[in-house]
């Protein structure tokens, strides 16, 4: 009995010691990475502390001012990356290093000769100036494997960061994007274009969805007629609302990779999205990518949520429990697409920019249907209800392109993503050209020739 009591006491002391370590201030300081030099792109780092406050408001404001001033005189594409668990803004952090490498690839792809010709026709300038924004926060607290005990504290920290100054920074970035691309009141003139592409990984996706979720929900609420039914099926199949003004809530596209957030935080978007049909010029606003081999989210996330069971009321039904206890991307009822390696020919090619027939192929492309780029195919999941021109896609992949929770910079995955995003940008430029030519200033789709 005495031996057993001793083991219990030692265990309690060890757990308390680990929890105390997790609450300490290790890694809680501002990092000063040196931006890459002699590169055609720029890379800035925006950092928040553990309470959600920016470490340097002047630096963040200077970055916003720089983007605004550039976008007023030349084409700009801003690429945002918000890291997740076990990472920070240390210049040797592999997420920071890998993102800088991918920025180079993005810059080369967006400035390929063929798309430059199209961009020049619409803006008078061929090139786009790529600016990377690496948003850092205290995703790492302890050393090595000890950091795995910080799941609960890092989840809470990510929510604080998503509700804090980073939220305002992202909203102001979106405001610049909308102003730069507004065509209201304009005649057929050439003007510069601003692109905005955002990536969030793991708890970084939690940071992102705090802002993204509310803006997309608001846009969907304005375009649908019925309250979302999240935990019970609606009393009758909803009559689809016909969306005339496409949802353009936050930048060009937001890509959440292995998001470590509850499926519940996406549930309203999912329920509202299924109430409407979408026009041909609607482009995806959200792309969720979830690896089947992400054990951190498939196993440990539900276990971590289960620990809270003694401290909350019982769920009303199974669906409510699944939404709170399952990570976004893992809940089968929300899954819409599958991503797999393929030998199919690419759906679109750079040569399409150079001919009228090719440009029509780009305009007609539904990026929520079956598309192939760089030997990777994105297609609707068998058995899932297909939504043509859907604004949000929840995609699973078998663990080949994303081999575990943190293996997110595989070349084949990014080759696909960069091609996918580049042709999205191409379609957006073509749609904007048609709007200007036809005098469409309300956000509705222009008329596309048959």
* pLDDT, position 7: 45
Query: Stretch 160-183: mean pLDDT, rounded?
Result: 92
* pLDDT, position 143: 66
DSSP 299-342: IIHHHHHHTTGGGSPPPSSHHHHHHHHSBTTT-GGG--EEEEE-
* pLDDT, position 123: 84
Query: pLDDT for 381-439, tens place per residue?
Result: 999 988 999 999 999 999 999 999 999 999 999 999 999 999 999 999 999 889 888 88
- Work out the pLDDT band at 11, boundaries 50, 70, 90: very low
* pLDDT, position 321: 93
Look at 194-203, 221-230, 309-318 and tell me which has the smallest mean pLDDT.
309-318
Placement of tokens 């009228």 in the chain: 356
For residue 450, pLDDT beyond 80: no
* pLDDT, position 374: 97
DSSP 130-144: EEEEEEE-----SSG
- Helix (H, G, I), strand (E, B), or coil: what is residue 395? strand
Instruction: Give the span between the Cα atoms of 275 and 44, in whole angstroms.
Output: 40
DSSP type of residue 252: S
Residue 369, number of CB atoms within 10 A of its CB: 16
Instruction: Give the span between the Cα atoms of 195 and 213, in whole angstroms.
Output: 20
Instruction: Give the span between the Cα atoms of 418 and 430, in whole angstroms.
Output: 18
129-136 and 42-47 as β-strands: parallel, antiparallel, unpaired? parallel
Query: pLDDT for 13-57, tens place per residue?
Result: 445 444 544 455 676 778 888 888 889 999 999 999 999 999 999
The sheet with strand 286-291 has its strands ordered as 42-47, 129-136, 76-82, 194-201, 253-257, 286-291, 392-397, 337-341, 376-380, 371-373
* pLDDT, position 183: 66
């Amino acid at each position: 009995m005495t031996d057993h009591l001793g083991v219990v006491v030692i265990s309690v002391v060890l757990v308390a010691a680990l929890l105390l370590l997790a609450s300490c201030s290790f890694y809680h300081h501002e990092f000063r990475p040196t931006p890459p030099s002699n590169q055609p792109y720029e890379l800035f780092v925006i950092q928040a502390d553990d309470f959600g406050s920016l470490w340097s408001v002047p630096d963040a404001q200077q970055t916003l001012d720089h983007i605004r001033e550039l976008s007023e005189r030349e084409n700009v594409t801003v690429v945002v990356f918000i890291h997740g668990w076990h990472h920070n803004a240390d210049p040797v952090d592999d997420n920071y290093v890998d993102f800088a490498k991918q920025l180079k690839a993005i810059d080369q792809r967006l400035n390929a000769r063929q798309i430059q010709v199209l961009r020049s026709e619409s803006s008078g300038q061929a090139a786009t100036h790529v600016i990377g924004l690496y948003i850092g926060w205290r995703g790492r607290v302890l050393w090595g494997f000890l950091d795995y005990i910080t799941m609960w504290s890092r989840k809470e920290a990510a929510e604080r960061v998503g509700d804090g100054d980073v939220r305002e920074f992202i909203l102001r970035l979106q405001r610049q994007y909308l102003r730069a691309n507004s065509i209201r009141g304009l005649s057929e003139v050439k003007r510069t274009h601003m692109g905005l592409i955002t990536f969030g990984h793991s708890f970084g996706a939690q940071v992102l969805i705090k802002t993204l979720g509310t803006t997309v929900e608001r846009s969907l609420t304005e375009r649908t007629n019925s309250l979302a039914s999240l935990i019970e099926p609606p009393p009758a199949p909803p009559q689809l609302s016909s969306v005339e003004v496409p949802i353009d809530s936050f930048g060009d596209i937001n890509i959440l990779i292995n998001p470590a957030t509850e499926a519940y935080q996406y549930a309203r978007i999912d329920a509202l999205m299924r109430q409407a049909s979408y026009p041909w010029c609607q482009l995806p606003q959200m792309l969720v990518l979830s690896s089947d081999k992400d054990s951190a989210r498939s196993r440990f996330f539900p276990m971590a949520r289960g620990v809270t069971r003694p401290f909350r009321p019982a769920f009303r039904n199974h669906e409510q429990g699944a939404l709170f206890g399952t990570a976004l991307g893992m809940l089968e009822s929300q899954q819409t697409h599958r991503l797999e390696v393929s030998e199919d020919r690419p759906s679109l090619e750079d040569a399409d920019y150079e001919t009228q027939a090719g440009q029509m192929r780009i305009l007609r492309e539904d990026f929520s249907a079956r598309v192939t780029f760089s030997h990777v195919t994105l297609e609707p999941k068998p058995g899932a209800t297909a939504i043509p021109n859907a604004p949000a896609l929840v995609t699973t992949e078998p663990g080949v392109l994303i081999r575990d929770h943190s293996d997110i910079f595989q070349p084949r995955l990014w080759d696909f993503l960069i091609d996918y995003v580049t042709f999205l940008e191409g379609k957006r430029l073509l749609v904007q050209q048609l709007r200007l030519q036809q005098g469409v200033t309300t956000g509705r789709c222009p008329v596309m020739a048959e």
